Structures are given as structure tokens and as C-alpha cells.
Amino acid sequence: MVGYFILGVGALVALLLLARWIANADPRLLAWTVKVAGGVALLIIGVVLFVSDRLQWLMYLVPLALPVYFQWRSNRMRRRNAQGPAPGGRSDVNTGWLRMELDHDSGAMRGAVLRGRFAGRGLAGMSLDELRELLDEVGADPDSVGVLEAYLDRVHGPGWRGGAADEGTGAGSSREGGSGRAGLSGMTEPEALEILGLGPNAGVDDIKEAHRRLMAKLHPDRGGSTYLAAKINQAKDTLLKRR
């Protein structure tokens, strides 16, 4: 009896510690732990059924488990959509000339010049004339052109294009309609993860949710950037092809 009492106390303490950990754990870590524990449990059950020659039980368990799984998945998606964007998210876009950061909460863009005449300068500390000069300097790199034009559109509004054209500078005259020179180069998986602000273990649902959240802020119909919207779409397509 004493032995059972000690086991019961130990089990109770373990449950209390587990409940405390669940209450304080990071939601992402908790979700990952549940997935791993569930996978291990299923593997153990499969091995036990195989060793005991009772695999036919799976024929009864699978039809019962599938509705539970789909209901859990549906509830999870509803909770995530109801919570809205996760605070503190950030996307990074790096080109040959620029490093750009997008804040998911405010939609604010911050950037820095990596090389050339303005190397080391932050875009926020540069005048409009200097930004136009930089745009001419990066003209041979379509990704840098697209990112810089997106920044100018967001910070200075579409009026900067007309001003450049009126002054007769190359920054405006070579750019009919805005982003004529800007194209999209091939994208690697790490670059796509940076753009969507995701980690390497992001799943299909995470990718789609990050894409939806960013497009809600940056879609051209909502005053966003055509180039950045294209990059976000490209990032989603790149990652989904590898999942």
C-alpha cells in the first residue's frame, strides 16, 4: 500500500509540474512538443499492435481518429484567424545593394545601403534627392531597384516619380509606369523564409497565414507596393513547392 501511495504522490507531482510548464510554455514550443509526443505515441502504438499481431485494430481506430483530427485542425485554424497577426513580426529583404526590413505590425519599412557612394547610410536619413541618386546607382540590379522604389512609394508617395521626371533625371525618365526596370530574380528557401518572417520549421499553414497577413498590408489595392507584393507571392510559391 505504501508503494502505491508513493507512486500516486509522484504521479500527482508530475502532473502539477506538467500543468505548470504548459501554462508558461511558449505556444510554438508547446505545439511542437504536442506534435512530437503524438507522433511518438502513434509509433509506439503501431509497434505494439504489430508485435502482438493485432494490426487489424487499426481498421477500427482510423475511421474514429480521422474526424477528431479534422475537427482539431478546423478549430486550430479558426483560433489562429481570430487571433489576427502575431505581434512583433518582421520580414527581411536583402539585395546586392540594400538591406530592407518590414515591420508586420505597422507596415513601416526601414533600410540601409550596403555598398556604393551611400554605403552604410540608412534610407531614413537620406533626402529625396539622395534617394533618387541611389536609384540611378543601383539601376543595373532589378531587385535593388524594386525594393528602393517600394520604399520611395511608401515613404514619399507616388509623387516622387513625377518630381524626378520634371527634373529630367534618369531616375524618372527611364521608368514608365514605375517599376519597368525592376524584375524578380530566382529566390532561395532561406530568402523566402526571411521575406515571410518565418523559421525553417514553418509548415504549410504557417506559410499561408504569413502570406495572407502580409498581403493584407502590402497589396497594391491597399496602397502597398506591386514589387513587394510580387516578392511575397514568390516567397510563398517557393516554400510551398518544397513542402
Give one DSSP letter per residue of 36-73, joined into a string: HHHHHHHHHHHHHHHHTT-GGGHHHHHHHHHHHHHHHH
Sheet holding 109-113, edge to edge: 90-94, 98-103, 109-113
> 55 phi and psi, to 5 degrees?
-60, -20
- pLDDT tens digits, 133-148: 999 999 888 888 888 9
- pLDDT tens digits, 28-39: 666 677 777 777
- Supply the pLDDT for residue 135: 92
Q: What is the mean pLDDT of the segment spanning 13-17?
A: 70
pLDDT at residue 175 is higher than 70: no
Mean pLDDT of all residues belonging to the chain: 74
Q: How confident is the model at residue 116 (pLDDT cuts 50, 70, 90)?
A: very high
- Longest Cα–Cα distance in the chain: 94
**pTM of this structure:** 0.48
d(CA 199, CA 194): 8
Q: How confident is the model at residue 121 (pLDDT cuts 50, 70, 90)?
A: very high
Best CA proximity match to 87, nearest among 66, 63, 105, 107: 105
Domain ranges across the chain: 2-83, 90-240
> Which CATH number is 90-240 given?
1.10.287.110
Vertex 156, ends 153 and 160: CA angle to 5°?
A: 80
- pLDDT tens digits, 186-226: 788 888 888 888 888 888 888 888 888 888 777 666 656 67
